[in-house]
Each structure stands twice: as C-alpha cells, then as structure tokens.
C-alpha cells in the first residue's frame, strides 16, 4: 500500500482510532510503537540500588552483570520503564513503586523496600543518546533512549536468603547473568559499568551511609 500521499496527521489519526493495539496483553509497546514514543517523548524509568552493611560495617551496593542490550557483560542498575497495569479490565498507570517491585521480582526474584520512602528518590538521573560520541553536561550515555529521566532508589532486599533467580523477562530475554556487591573503596573502575551507572553508585555511597 502506497502511503506517500497521506499526511502524518492523517496517519496518526488512524493510529489513535485503535490506541490499544499499540500495546500487547501485558501492557508493553510494540517495537515500532516504542520507537515512535522514544522519538516524541521523554521516557520515564525507575531503578533500584540494593544497599547493606558488611560484617565490617562498610556500606555495600549491588549491581547486576547485564546479559542483554548494548552493555551486555557490564555492571548495571536493576530497573527499567514505568508502564501500565491492568485492573478490572482497564489499563491504569503503573506507579514507580509497582514498576520497581516488578523489575526486581522478574529479573532476580527479590522483594524490596526503599531505604527512605517511595516519594523520595535517592538520585535523579538524565540519560541521552550520544551525539558524535558526546553527551550534554549532567547527562549519562544511553544508546537506547533519545531522552530518559530515571528516579533511582536505594533499596533493601527483604528476601535475600533466597538465591537470586536469573529468569526470563517479558521483554529482552534474561536481563541479568549475575550480581556483584562492592564497597566504595572496592568499586570497579568506570569502564566496568554500562550506561554511565558508575556515577549513580559513586553518588549513592554517602547517602546509603546515612540511611543504613
């Protein structure tokens, strides 16, 4: 079908007559719908940084060893997009709490609680897709997103006695291949991290020290 003579507004008008077809039964956007949304709007994500004290009393933070995406093999945060949930047959906005609990359950089988509260992120990050290999000041590189804002929470794992489960996620396959705990002095070098996440960990150590 030749669509060259149809205006963009007409095409979008037809799409908006069937908006529910942009999502699957789990509330995830199709690949093309995701690409369009990423082009038009700022993406909102939520990430968690598990924190604990070692037997020596030092703060330890946890990262996953990423198994998918452009930074496979690198250390990264656990988290992802905030989406929609279906309640009583209707799509409802997913809260940051619901989203982060979902990501931890799906990717690792962990239950979590925030060190502070769900309305007080520990760190707010801005990501952008690099342009000529560079990002704006205050941004971290993310090849997957044109513009992303992420609320990042220091969290406590409440069922750590249960081994993490490296299962399959609804999208993207198996998200994590392992986990890594480290203190501030033993933190791996920046090149070991993906998405510029070393900056979040660096900033979160002194915050976690006050909260634990």
The domain covering 42-211 belongs, at the CATH homologous superfamily level, to Nucleoside Triphosphate Pyrophosphohydrolase (3.90.79.10)
Percent of the chain with pLDDT over 70: 90
pTM score, whole prediction: 0.82
- What tens digit of pLDDT does each residue of 158-170 get? 998 776 777 655 5
In angstroms, the CA 190 to CA 196 distance is 8
Cα(50)–Cα(45) distance, integer angstroms:
17
What ranges make up the beta strands (E) of the chain?
43-53, 59-66, 75-76, 78-81, 84-87, 90-93, 112-114, 123-128, 140-141, 147-157, 176-183
pLDDT in tens, 95-151: 999 999 988 988 888 899 999 999 999 999 998 888 998 999 989 888 877 888 999
- Residue among 25, 170, 149 at smallest CA distance from 85: 25
Encoded tokens for 105: 């359950």
pLDDT at 78 over 70: yes
* Alpha helices, DSSP H, located in 43-191: 96-108
CA 27 to each of CA 34, 113, 119: distance values in angstroms, whole numbers, following the listed order: 12, 24, 24
Domain ranges of the chain: 7-41, 42-211
Any bridge partners for residue 154, and if so which?
49
């Amino acid at each position: 079908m030749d669509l060259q003579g149809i205006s963009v507004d007409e095409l979008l008008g037809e799409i908006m007559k069937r908006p529910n077809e942009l999502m699957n039964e789990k509330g995830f956007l199709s690949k093309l719908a995701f690409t369009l949304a990423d082009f038009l709007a700022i993406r909102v994500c939520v990430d968690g940084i598990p924190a604990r004290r070692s037997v020596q009393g030092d703060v330890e933070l946890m990262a996953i060893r990423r198994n998918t995406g452009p930074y496979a093999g690198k250390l990264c945060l656990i988290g992802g997009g905030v989406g929609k949930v279906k309640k009583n047959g209707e799509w409802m906005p997913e809260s940051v709490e619901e989203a982060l609990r979902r990501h931890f359950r799906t990717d690792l089988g962990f239950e979590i609680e925030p060190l502070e509260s769900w309305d007080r992120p520990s760190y707010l990050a801005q990501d952008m897709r690099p342009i000529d290999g560079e990002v704006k000041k205050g941004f971290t590189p993310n090849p997957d997103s044109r513009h992303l804002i992420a609320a990042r929470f220091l969290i406590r794992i409440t069922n750590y006695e249960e081994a993490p489960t490296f299962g399959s996620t609804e999208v993207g396959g198996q998200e994590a291949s392992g986990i890594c705990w480290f203190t501030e002095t033993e933190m791996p070098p920046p090149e070991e991290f993906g998405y510029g996440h070393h900056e979040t960990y660096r900033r979160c150590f002194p915050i976690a020290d006050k909260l634990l």
